[in-house]
Amino acid sequence: MKRPYPSIIFMSALLACTSPADKKDEAAAKTFSLNNKKIIVYTTAQNSDLRITQYGVLEFKPAPQPLETEPAVFIDPGKTFQTMTGIGGAITDASAETFAKLSQETQKEFLTAYFDQKNGIGYTLARTNINSCDFSSGSYTYVADNDKELKTFDIAHDEKFKIPMIQQAISAAGGKLLLYVSPWSPPAWMKDNNDMLQGGKLKPEFRQAWASYYIKFIREYEKRNIPVWGLSIQNEPMAKQRWESCIFTAGEERDFIKEFLGPTLHKEGMKDKKLIAWDHNRDLIYQRASTILSDPEAAKYVWGIGFHWYETWTKSSMLFDNLRRVKEAFPDKELIFTEGCQEKFNLDSIGNWSLGEKYGHSMINDFNSGTAAWTDWNILLDETGGPNHVGNFCFAPIHADTRTGKLIYTNAYYYLGHFSKFIRPGAKRIISSSSRDLLQTTGFINSDGKVVVIVMNTSNQELPYHLWIGGQSAAVKSLAHSISTFVIE
């Protein structure tokens, strides 16, 4: 992203002779050579015009054993972990309806900003809703009431706004965008409360019809040149919401997977679709994952466990250790962040720097806990934080002021971009370990061999530290309330 660059404030590395211990450190990173490598730095910082701005080129220099008084981020590309699937956001009805109100020029700006890797932040993953959700202008389904055989199934509703936007997003992403789909509720007549809202449960007699519903939806989207990569079983299955919602206990979700949805996907030639269980907060994730994945007949259909970040509504902090427990117990299954946003929209707070820092904190810790894919919530909302048919207005990384036709970029957009622009599908997480809690960090090595290290500083202090790898280091100053991406190439 081209902006006027301010003067570079990076310090040159300390020069020192290497010791035998340093030689052993170099050998530990034998899978990655620093020969002829440079470090390109990109930074976003509060109280500056830095927004994913190239902010310097560094070189590694020989360095001694770091002292406890010298803050450092230790990088080890020789230790690799999960493989990245993608990073992206949700194209909801609200996003698509807002997008449709923009001029063609502004629509192009928006699509480039999100999906172009060179001139934007290079999203590679997307999610959309099956039937309506809270971020729809009203409740809807795709079938007539009591049509158990789904003969009336018709996605005409989505063809007005959502499908055209998804098609344009795929094009802007270079023709490939992994899309997964999620329901908030079955049709009211399939549920025991006869309402799409306020929770309720799927009636047993409609479990097969509901399983077939996913198949119908996927087929109709794929007829319109929108490949579907995966699906989750139910958005937030333990939440009774004033909007579209449906309750599944862990046992009920397990049984629905193994007796209906899993076999139906296989029977209908869709066994390659990635099936995502849970799709709710980190608090109960281990109980849900263990109930489903400890059953071989259910586990064989499941690709991964999805999660949200809203466990904070209980006054808890984000529970990253619960993700680690799931990955430790079930290492052959993937973790995917399926939704998160800042709630309670207020236009006066749209410039609040904490918006982006919340994303950075979650993404760094989610990735370090084993997460392989990360999906933001609405990629676009209007100046009210909607549309939303139940008044649940929220923040998005980009808002469109439909009164002026202009886009408003929050700092969350840039914080997301520090990950999505540089960590590409196929990248493997590596060790990036900080000696100070004020410096949060994660690292990846892309399939082209480039190492990407992200360091975030949420403090009010400017913090000097060293990037250290295999006995060599580069000295850096981290600006207050900043995030930096280091690309070693």
Residue 129 has pLDDT above 70, yes or no: yes
Kindly state the average pLDDT of the residues 160-169.
98
For the domain 38-62+73-82+430-488, what is the CATH code?
2.60.40.1180
* Residue 31: per-residue pLDDT: 62
Best CATH choice for the domain 86-425 from the list 3.40.50.2300, 3.90.1150.10, 3.20.20.80, 3.20.20.70: 3.20.20.80
Bridge partners for 337 per DSSP: 307, 374
Kindly state the average pLDDT of the residues 361-388.
98
Task: Please state the domain extents for the chain.
Answer: 38-62+73-82+430-488, 86-425
pLDDT band at 224 (very low <50, low <70, confident <90, very high): very high
Q: Do domains 38-62+73-82+430-488 and 86-425 have the same CATH topology?
A: no
| Separation between Cα atoms, residue 289 and residue 274, nearest integer Å | 16
Least confident of 12-21, 112-121, 128-137: 12-21
Q: Which residues are catalytic?
A: 236, 339
Q: Which residues contact 64 (CB under 8 A, 6 or more apart)?
A: 14, 16, 17, 18, 19, 22
Kindly state the average pLDDT of the residues 323-337.
98
Residue 24 has pLDDT above 70, yes or no: no
Kindly state the average pLDDT of the residues 244-253.
98
Q: What is the 3-state secondary structure (H, E, C) of the chain?
A: CCCCCCCCCCCCCCCCCCCHHHHHHHHHCCCCCCCCCCEEEEEEECCCCCCCEEEEEECCEECCCCCCCCCEEEEEEEEEEEECCEEEEECCHHHHHHHHCCCHHHHHHHHHHHHCCCCCCCCCEEEEEECCCCCCCCCCCCCCCCCCCCCCCCCHHHHHCHHHHHHHHHHHCCCCCEEEEEECCCCHHHECCCCCECCCCECHHHHHHHHHHHHHHHHHHHHCCCCCCEEECCCCCCCCCCCECCCCCHHHHHHHHHHHHHHHHHHCCCCCCEEEEEEEECCCHHHHHHHHHCCHHHHCCCCEEEEECHHHHHCCCCCHHHHHHHHHHCCCCEEEEEECCCECCCHHHCCCCHHHHHHHHHHHHHHHCCEEEEEEEECCEECCCCCCCCCCCECCCEEEECCCCEEEECHHHHHHHHHHCCCCCCCEEEEEEECCCCEEEEEEECCCCCEEEEEEECCCCCEEEEEEECCEEEEEEECCCEEEEEEEC
